[in-house]
Amino acid sequence: MTNQVGERRLPQLEPRRDGHADAFHTFVRKWVVTLKSVLHSGKTATAEFCRNVYTNHKFVRSVAFTLFYVHTLLQFTRLRKDEKQKTLLFMINSLSDGGAERVVATLTSDLARRWRVVILSIKENYISYPIDPDVRVLLLPKALFIPEFRRIIPSVELRLLVFLAKFLKKKLGVYATISFLCDMNHLNASSKGVGKVICCERNNPFKDAAIFRAIDQIKTNYEHADHVVFQTEDVRNFFSDKVKEHSSILRNPIDVACERKSVVKKRIVNVGRLVPQKNQAMLIRAFKRFHDLRPEYTLSIYGRGYLKDDLKKLVENLNLKKVVVLEGQSSQIHRDIADAEFFVLSSDYEGYSNALLEAMTMGLPCISTDCEGSTDAVTNGVDGVIVPRGDEDALFKAMLTFAEHEDFREQLGKQAKKTEERFQCKRVVQEWEETIKLV
């Protein structure tokens, strides 16, 4: 049995007999709950006033930071080392939608059969992917990481967070801490000292402008880590020989809920966050040209993100409202896309697209831009079609080829299904586990 998607698992803390400590914990917890409810409540005049005070007054923010910090520290004091099983701590920004988040959910659920597994996350919204109930999820208050707090005393805040991470590692007696994504890799490397430190690079930091600004810190983190996991050789080659010496290439574990249906609709699908990296705008423009020639087709885009309104306007401006649907986030994505004729990945860059691998494993014919990972997963013309990044015309022509040449398209889908052999969940998890043990 696994957690229901959308359920937020709070840490199950062990009881203590210290009445004074419990009373103080209750006092802090009440203030934290009150503060959260005020900051995240609706657009009432009182809520807006409180948020304005919170945002513009350093003293108020400092007090709030202290309350959140003490509350988290008190939670961690109740954790205990497991004398029977070795502990793996996974650190990630959130457990909501995303490729890294899916990998963490898959890895931890399998590893929990043989290890004590704990996940440390910072976004207290919901869990998008099923996680085994034996996996304990600890939630750091997001307020400890938001920009308003970072402007108070960044150096002091970082030292406090590093102390918090070290304290957690010590209380759990971790065998290894495996972190994903930039912020958590930094926190993991900075809190080195208890157990092994394994950092996982999930994207191409040299293509992501926001991450590239911190590239020097990323390089330092990876040099200090005991081991670094990359998804592709191309990304690993950007780093120094010192990093390469203690690194490995590990694929994503892929597990799909169903195969592509034998009878499909005239439907094209895309799965990914609605952010510039995924370039769904190019896909929509290419689909407009495609739809002018093949009006029987529709386009469904699954995912959410801050570009949703912009993409909606683009759909409206191109008069595609009846045939292009922004479906939002799906908790059963494989079943939702199983009746599609083919899948399109339009990204400008990736680490290694889970969405593409899952679509291929299901047996969907796939078109992908030539971003990192895709050129490793797809052999152009054999089990998929590769088009240049940002090339709207090439994407349009590939979609038209798929629509007009059914035999070619379906043969690609059959070959794509063989991807399962390389990315089979049990095999990939075993490779991860062997790497953790050998570090």
Q: Kindly list the structural domains of the chain, giving each domain's residue range(s) and its CATH number in brackets, ordered by start.
A: 78-249 (3.40.50.2000), 267-423 (3.40.50.2000)
The per-residue pLDDT for 60 is 59
Which tops the pLDDT comparison, 2 or 27? 27
Query: Mean pLDDT, to the nearest integer, of 332-349?
Result: 95
The per-residue pLDDT for 38 is 52
- Lowest mean pLDDT: which of 39-43, 72-76, 248-252, 282-286? 39-43
Residue whose C-alpha is closest to residue 180's, from 109, 273, 93: 93
Query: Mean pLDDT, to the nearest integer, of 90-114?
Result: 88
Question: Considering the chain, what percentage of its residues have pLDDT values greater than 90?
Answer: 48
Write the pLDDT tens digit of every residue in 344-385: 999 998 888 889 999 999 999 999 999 888 888 999 999 999
Residue whose C-alpha is closest to residue 297's, from 271, 327, 267: 267
Torsions phi, psi for 423 (to 5 deg): -115, 20
Tell me 76's DSSP state: H
Write the pLDDT tens digit of every residue in 300-321: 999 989 999 999 999 999 999 9
The per-residue pLDDT for 375 is 86
Residue whose C-alpha is closest to residue 219's, from 202, 196, 244, 252: 244
The per-residue pLDDT for 30 is 55
Q: Tell me how far apart the alpha carbons of residues 395 and 379 are, in angstroms, rounded to a whole number.
A: 17
- Binned at pLDDT 50, 70 and 90, residue 423 comes out as confident
Query: Mean pLDDT, to the nearest integer, of 114-130?
Result: 79
Which tops the pLDDT comparison, 358 or 161? 358
The per-residue pLDDT for 4 is 40
Q: Is the pLDDT of residue 135 over 80?
A: yes
Q: Is the pLDDT of residue 113 over 70?
A: yes
Q: Give the type of residue at 128.
A: S
By the 8 A CB rule, do 216 and 239 touch? no
Query: Mean pLDDT, to the nearest integer, of 146-156?
Result: 47
Q: Give the type of residue at 234.
A: D
Q: Tell me how far apart the alpha carbons of residues 428 and 252 are, in angstroms, rounded to a whole number.
A: 7
Q: Tell me how far apart the alpha carbons of residues 196 and 393 are, in angstroms, rounded to a whole number.
A: 48
Q: Tell me how far apart the alpha carbons of residues 85 and 166 are, in angstroms, rounded to a whole number.
A: 20
Tell me the average pLDDT of the chain. 82
Residue that has been written with the tokens 């895709």 in this structure = 374
Which tops the pLDDT comparison, 230 or 97? 230
The per-residue pLDDT for 20 is 40
Write the pLDDT tens digit of every residue in 232-260: 888 898 888 999 999 999 988 888 889 99
- Lowest mean pLDDT: which of 53-57, 129-133, 326-330? 53-57
Query: Mean pLDDT, to the nearest integer, of 337-344?
Result: 97
Query: Mean pLDDT, to the nearest integer, of 118-129?
Result: 74
The per-residue pLDDT for 368 is 97
Q: Is the pLDDT of residue 5 over 50?
A: no
The per-residue pLDDT for 299 is 98
The per-residue pLDDT for 218 is 84
Q: Tell me how far apart the alpha carbons of residues 439 and 427 are, in angstroms, rounded to a whole number.
A: 19
- Binned at pLDDT 50, 70 and 90, residue 37 comes out as low
Q: Is the pLDDT of residue 266 over 80?
A: yes
Report the chain's terminal Cα–Cα distance, integer Å.
31
Q: Is the pLDDT of residue 87 over 60?
A: yes
The per-residue pLDDT for 8 is 41
- Binned at pLDDT 50, 70 and 90, residue 48 comes out as low
The per-residue pLDDT for 83 is 77
Q: CA 309 → CA 96, 304, 327, distances in Å? A: 20, 10, 13
Helices (H), 322-369: 333-337, 354-362
